[in-house]
Amino acid sequence: MRFLFFLIPFFLCAEDSFITQIEYGRMLYENPRGIGCVECHGESGEGKIIANYTHKKKQKQLYGPKINDIEFDSFSKALQKSQKIMPKYYLTKQEIEAIYKYLESKKDIIKDK
């Protein structure tokens, strides 16, 4: 029975190593199953130019739109339907929520500066 007491500190430490929803959101945003959102929507969801190209002699731009200022509902819907350029991810509701919260948390940091 005594050995159980040695285990108690490990249980207590394990408590600390659980990641928060926001940290989980960051992991998903940077590296979901497939190409990271960050590659197309920028570090904080501020939007990003993916490529410049010419089509029929016209300068064109491919960009990931700003996604850190939209309602959760549209955010979630956009991720569940097939888009033209953006890959489909099949994220769960929890995953979508975590990413959304993560982007919100980044916005607060920017505001505080």
Binding residues for ligand HEC (CB under 6 A):
32, 35, 37, 39-41, 50, 64-65, 67, 70, 74-75, 78-79, 83-87, 89, 99
Nearest to 41 by CA among 75, 62, 74, 64: 64
Alpha helical stretches, state H, 1-113: 3-17, 21-30, 37-41, 72-80, 93-112
Smaller CB separation from ligand HEC, 54 or 83: 83
Smaller CB separation from ligand HEC, 84 or 113: 84
Smaller CB separation from ligand HEC, 15 or 73: 73
Cα radius of gyration rounded to whole Å, the chain: 19
